[in-house]
Each structure stands twice: as C-alpha cells, then as structure tokens.
C-alpha cells in the first residue's frame, strides 16, 4: 500500500527556496564537546534494515538512510511478530489534522511500562512517557519526556499524577490498550497534541532486544545504587526474588564512567531515579541515552546484514512492543522516514530539567514547557528550540 497523498501542506524539500535547514545546538554527552568545539560530522546513511524498529518504541528510530535493500513485502515479513492494537482511541489525528497521511509532521506517543510476569495487566502504570515529533520536512526528530509526576486532568478520573492515566484506563478489562488510550487522551487534553501512532514499550522485554544486540555502551554520569536489584552468587535478581533465596545479597552499584552493559544492567540503570541528583529527570536522560545506544549498536558490526542476527533482533522486538500505526502499514513509516538519521535526534526536557513541585508532591509544567508543546502541535519546534536552547536535554 503506497503512502497516501497529502491532505496536509507539505514543507519544501531540504534546500528548496523558502526553507532554511534548522541549526540545532549540539548536545554534549559525558566527555563530549558542546557546540563550540564539536566538529561537523558527515550524516551517516544506514540501510533500511536499520529502521526495522523505527516506530516500535524508537529503538532504531534514529538510524535510517536511503539505501533501500528490501521491499515492503520483505519488511512486512520481518515485522510480522509486532503486535498491533488500537492504542490511541479518539486521540489520533483527525482527517482535518492529516489523518493517515505521513507527508506532514508525524507525532508518536511512546509509553514505557515496567511490567513483570507476576503482575496483572490492570496493575501497571506508565512511568516513561515520551512524545516523538518529526517535522513535516522529515529531516529531524525530537524526543520530549513528560515527567511521571506531572499533575494532569485525567478524563473521568479527576486530577492526578499523569502516570496514573495508564492505570485507570487499564481497569475493568481495559488492559494495556485501554491504558494507552486514556494516557493519549489525557496528553491531548493537556497539550492539544493529537497523534499519528503510539507504542507501548515493555522495558522488561527490552532485555532480550539488548541481549540480541550483545551489549550497549552506556555512560553513567552519577554513581547510583540499584533500588530494584541485588546480586546473589554473582547473579542479578529482583529484590523480592533475592530475599527468597536466603543467601547473602550484594547491592548492584552503577559506577560513574562509560562501559559496555548487558541487557539486565542497562535496563536496571535506566530504571533508577532514587539516589540521582535530579531524580526522574536524570532517569529520563538515561532512558533516552539507552534508546540511542541501542540504535547505534544495531547498525554496527554487520548486525543488520546478518539474517540470523536480524531475525533474533526482530523476534525480541516483537515480544517487547505493542504498536499502533494509525492504520498505516509499518513499511510506509520506514520509507517515509528514510532521511532521519541518528545524528538528527534531539532530546528535549521540560521545566529546565528540575522538579517543579506544586506543593502536593506533584509537578506543574512551566509556561516555557507548555509553549514547547504548542510548538509541537503547530509544527514549529525547530524555531522554538533555536530560540530557547535551554530546553535541550544536556548531561551534567
């Protein structure tokens, strides 16, 4: 099925008259250089297989390219294990907003859940809430994390922390589908943003994706002791399971520095917020770092040109993700976003990266953050970031 013709105004092609490519300040990582010292890097063009998990949780969202090595039929076969459900309900874009078109700006809702086998489907909250925005020019990509403690009006459930929207929607048989729909509706009410698609990321299932990649390189900016796991006989275990063994337990400590992490270690680090200087904001940055690290590893060492490794990777992704493409074939997303590369991913933050308490343990988004969401809705985020570089998510 070809990508449908546009109902939205299409931005001029890069380099066309009237369009100035955005110049976003570079984001320095640990040990990296900021805008003043960074050398200009040539945009890397990776094969289409590098986009196989583009929409499924933004694992490889940032690693695209123009070297098409597979047909849509081949892509469909490779991604057949991805479960597709209605995650948006009435928070999806209307025909007036573009409907099923991909020619204009693309907005995706990415929800991370930390589900474990012993938990019921209606006893889960989404603590990771990310808006993925791709401008109509399709040459840039942004990740904006919404803090889990943000106070929000949850339709039908009054005012609560925004992460409770998933929980409430999952009740009475709603399950994850109902949880995602209520979360999408809550965010639309708060920001005005409608979505083209959504994905639920089971961070527990991501361990298998990372294991399929081997390891990922993660940089720890602040040493932190795990709040969730202990080591027993040299093996990592959930706290509850470790206690049941009756054996001596050692804390899992993520020490400062950069290293290759196995799946369990990378995910445990990305879960931490207690003991970090900026709590949930540091966790947001660490989760964004993990997404980028997975994308980078997936395009290295022939991972995507090896059929066996590729099959293992896509099978693992299928178990970790639930997807809603708004009725558009997955392959169409991949072809549409072929110009977005890892170098084009910009991570943004709300409230300057600091918890803004409203006095009752919840957080209120400041005016600048709300202006940022309006810029997303109006597809003017490029200009907004240039004018307000403080929204860039930089690591300290």
DSSP 368-380: HHHHHHHHHHTT-
Q: Does residue 103 sit in helix, strand or coil?
A: coil
Q: How far apart are the C-alpha atoms of 184 and 177, rounded to whole Å?
A: 11
**Per-residue pLDDT at 312 exceeds 70:** yes
> Is residue 5 situated within a structural domain?
no
Residue from 285, 294, 304, 385 nearest 61 by CA: 294
Q: How far apart are the C-alpha atoms of 204 and 118, rounded to whole Å?
A: 12
- Tell me the two tokens of residue 206: 């991501």
> Is residue 39 situated within a structural domain?
no
> Which residues are bridge partners to 84 per DSSP?
323
> Is residue 274 situated within a structural domain?
no
Tell me what the pLDDT averaged over the chain comes to. 76
CATH number at residue 178: 3.30.420.590
> Is residue 374 situated within a structural domain?
yes
Of the candidate ranges 45-59, 147-161, 237-251, 275-289, the one whose mean pLDDT is the lowest: 45-59
> Is residue 313 situated within a structural domain?
no
**Per-residue pLDDT at 55 exceeds 90:** no
Q: How far apart are the C-alpha atoms of 265 and 218, rounded to whole Å?
A: 10
**Per-residue pLDDT at 354 exceeds 70:** yes
Q: How many domains does the chain have?
A: 1
Q: Measured between alpha carbons, how far is residue 344 from residues 78, 157, 172, 286, 297 in Å? A: 25, 38, 41, 18, 17
Q: What is the pLDDT of residue 141?
A: 83
Tell me what percent of the residues of the chain surpass a pLDDT of 90.
34
Give the global pTM: 0.73
> Is residue 181 situated within a structural domain?
yes
The conformation of residue 363, written as its DSSP 8-state character, comes to: B
Residue 63's domain spans which residues? 48-205+327-391
List pLDDT tens digits, range 175-185: 889 999 999 99
Q: What is the pLDDT of residue 158?
A: 94
Q: What are phi and psi of 322, to 5 degrees?
A: -125, 135
């Amino acid at each position: 099925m070809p990508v449908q013709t546009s109902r939205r105004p299409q931005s001029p092609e890069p380099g066309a008259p009237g369009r100035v490519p955005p110049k976003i300040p570079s984001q320095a990582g640990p040990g990296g250089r900021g805008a003043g010292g960074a050398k200009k890097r040539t945009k890397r063009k990776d094969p289409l297989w590098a986009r196989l998990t583009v929409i499924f949780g933004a694992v490889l969202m940032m690693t695209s390219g123009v070297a098409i090595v597979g047909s849509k039929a081949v892509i469909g076969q490779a991604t057949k294990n991805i479960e597709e459900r209605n995650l948006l309900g009435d928070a999806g874009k209307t025909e007036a907003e573009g409907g099923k078109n991909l020619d204009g700006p693309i907005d995706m809702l990415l929800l991370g859940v930390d589900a474990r086998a012993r938990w019921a489907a209606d006893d889960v909250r989404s603590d990771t809430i990310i808006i993925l925005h791709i401008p109509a020019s399709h040459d840039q990509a942004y990740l904006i994390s919404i803090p889990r403690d943000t106070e929000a009006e949850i339709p039908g459930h009054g005012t609560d922390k925004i992460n409770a929207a998933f929980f409430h929607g999952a009740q009475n048989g709603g399950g994850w589908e109902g949880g995602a729909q209520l979360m999408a509706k809550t965010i639309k009410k708060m920001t005005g943003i409608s979505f083209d698609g959504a994905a639920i990321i089971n961070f527990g299932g991501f361990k298998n994706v990372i294991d399929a990649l081997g390891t990922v390189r993660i940089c720890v900016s602040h040493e932190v002791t795990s709040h969730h796991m202990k080591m027993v006989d040299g093996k990592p275990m959930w706290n509850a399971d470790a206690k049941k063994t009756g054996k001596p337990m050692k804390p899992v400590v993520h020490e400062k520095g950069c290293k290759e992490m196995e799946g369990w270690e990378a995910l445990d680090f990305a879960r931490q917020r207690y003991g970090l200087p900026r709590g949930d904001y540091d966790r947001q940055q660490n989760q964004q770092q993990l997404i980028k690290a997975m994308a980078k590893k997936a395009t290295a060492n022939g991972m995507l040109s090896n059929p066996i490794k590729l099959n293992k990777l896509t099978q693992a992704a299928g178990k970790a993700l639930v997807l809603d493409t708004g009725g558009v074939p997955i392959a169409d997303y991949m072809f549409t976003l072929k110009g977005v590369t890892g170098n084009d991913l910009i991570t943004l933050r709300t409230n300057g990266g600091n918890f803004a308490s409203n006095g009752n343990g919840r957080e209120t988004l400041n005016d600048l953050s709300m202006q940022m969401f309006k810029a997303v809705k109006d597809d003017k985020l490029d200009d907004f970031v240039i004018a307000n570089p403080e929204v860039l998510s930089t690591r300290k």
